[in-house]
Structure 1
């Protein structure tokens, strides 16, 4: 009989850690190999830069020589990608060992340098998997954050150069909840959406952003004999504040905003500790009228945010249209203020 029942779990944990380190080490070496191949191709290409088609000829020639022996990883398409890898990251010391080659392939598809740096910083900081990074790129996390704040703030928060001081710097509008698996054409009760969020809590925390942790569901509060139930309560360690989420499957009304304001006031006056910041309220709604939100809340209100949810990821065209529209509205609001 074992004296210490933790022996087997401890050894399994050691094995799992060692395997993970070995996989990361192999992937890092592979990434460096691809970078060096890309560098060598680029250097050779420069030797024949006076010939317009030399680059294409060179990569085709290399693919013909290497692919039969080393496989599909050395096809024309792959070799061209290694060249692009070096061109996008010309300093080898700038490569992040925390990122896998699969993640770098996703990053290579991003042309905008600020946008690419944002996803690199967020991937490293949050230890995103390749799937999580791809999902965040496909859901246009960078553009959604830009709708609420400026580019410099988005990058500074991502790189830990700035602690967010405003909920809008980390809360996205819209929020994409395609991972819930709900059909957009169906009707749902608020409790159904809430249950789906709890079931997929890890994915929902990823969508919420940095620093969130789950606190409670249907949190009961008493106000002079009356009972109320707050849908979801989270805490954000970066903002050092409670975050209350109320779910509305209908178009947002001023009564919904008033209800959330009451919950926020309660948490500020009863639950919040002296060193914590004011409570943040998020109305997660099926649709909203920005004017109703604007005129229901006091001017310069920063702690109540209405965020529309979508049950599917948009097409690239839809996303660009929406981003451009929201950015234009944001610029107009700033100029008016």
Structure 2
């Protein structure tokens, strides 16, 4: 009888780790192969550049020759993708081994280089899966962060060139919570929304921003003999501060802002250590009036953020309209 029963989980862990490394190695080799194929196609096209239709002819010819032997990975569509892969990332040494081919397929569809660099940095820093990267692209994470901060700060934080100096550089507004799986009903109780968030906590922490960890829900605090309950308490390692979240399933009111400000003040005076930064409060609301938020809080406010949530992803047209509206409001506020 073996005395040390830990040998079984140890060996299983070794097997799983080795399998993951093997899968990653195969995918990296496949990515390199597709890049080399794209490079070779592009070079051949350049030689036949005097013919305007040579590129289309070449791709069609290659597909007819390769697909019968090597399968659908060498169809016309796939070969065009390999060519675009090389044209988007022309330097082989710049390819990141942390990214899979599936992620690169998503990235080459992004025309704007700064936007693409942002998603590359965020994918690597947060160890995103392909599905997570796709979701963040589809929910316009880059544009949502630009609404509340300048482009240089957003990119610098993403690339780890600077730590966020303002919570708005990492906290999104609006937030998309379609992963909660709630139906499009007229209203939800706040406890229902809170429970759904707890059930999908990993996805929620990813959506809210970088560097968040969960501490407590319905945290009881005592003030002058009265009891109050903070919906959620998080901690952010980048901002080095507590983050309090209050969930409101109605349109935000100035009373809601005052309530959260009281909780923030309590944490700053009672819970916060001297080496930690001031507490941040997030009001996660179904709807808000930015003017009410603006005039309820001090002009130099950095402690309270009102972020509207949506229970399903919008269409591309709705996203573009939302971004245009918010940028117009931002420009108006600067005047």
> Could you state the TM-score of these two structures normalised by the residue count of structure 2?
0.99
Q: Distance in 2 between matches of 1:45 and 1:303?
A: 56
Q: Distance in 2 between matches of 1:275 and 1:176?
A: 33
1:306 matched residue in structure 2: 306
What whole-Å deviation, never above 9, does each CA across 1:57-76 have from its counterpart, x for those lacking one?
A: 00000000000000000000
Q: Distance in 1 between matches of 2:117 and 2:316?
A: 21
Aligned length: 335
Within 5 Å, which residues of 2 pair with 1:179-194? 179-194=179-194
Q: Distance in 1 between matches of 2:184 and 2:142?
A: 24
Q: Distance in 2 between matches of 1:108 and 1:28?
A: 16
Say if 2:20 is the partner of 1:8: no
2:200 matched residue in structure 1: 200
1:266 matched residue in structure 2: 266
Deviating runs (4+, > 2 A) in structure 1? Answer: none
TM superposition shift of 1:302: 1.1
Q: Distance in 2 between matches of 1:27 and 1:50?
A: 36
- Indicate the SS of the match to 1:60: helix
Q: Distance in 2 between matches of 1:324 and 1:185?
A: 27
Deviates further, 172-181 or 4-13: 4-13
Q: Distance in 1 between matches of 2:328 and 2:111?
A: 22
Q: Distance in 1 between matches of 2:5 and 2:167?
A: 46
TM superposition shift of 1:187: 1.6
Say if 2:168 is the partner of 1:168: yes
- Indicate the SS of the match to 1:147: helix
Within 5 Å, which residues of 2 pair with 1:208-247? 208-247=208-247
Q: Distance in 2 between matches of 1:9 and 1:208?
A: 34
Within 5 Å, which residues of 2 pair with 1:51-200? 51-200=51-200
TM superposition shift of 1:4: 1.4
1:323 matched residue in structure 2: 323
What whole-Å deviation, never above 9, does each CA across 1:293-322 have from its counterpart, x for those lacking one?
A: 000001120110000000000000000000
- Indicate the SS of the match to 1:233: strand
- Indicate the SS of the match to 2:148: coil
Q: Distance in 1 between matches of 2:187 and 2:8?
A: 49
TM superposition shift of 1:110: 0.6
Q: Distance in 2 between matches of 1:184 and 1:36?
A: 47
Say if 2:48 is the partner of 1:48: yes
Unaligned stretches of 5+ residues in structure 2: none
TM superposition shift of 1:160: 0.1
TM superposition shift of 1:17: 0.3
The Cα RMSD (Å) is 0.6
TM superposition shift of 1:220: 0.1
Q: Distance in 1 between matches of 2:262 and 2:163?
A: 27
Q: Distance in 1 between matches of 2:166 and 2:293?
A: 18
Q: Distance in 2 between matches of 1:252 and 1:6?
A: 53
TM superposition shift of 1:186: 3.5
TM superposition shift of 1:189: 0.4
Q: Distance in 1 between matches of 2:15 and 2:186?
A: 46
TM superposition shift of 1:209: 1.6
TM superposition shift of 1:6: 1.2
- Indicate the SS of the match to 2:137: helix
What whole-Å deviation, never above 9, does each CA across 1:138-194 have from its counterpart, x for those lacking one?
A: 111000000000111110000000100101111100000000001123421000000
What whole-Å deviation, never above 9, does each CA across 1:260-304 have from its counterpart, x for those lacking one?
A: 000000000000000000000000000000000000001120110
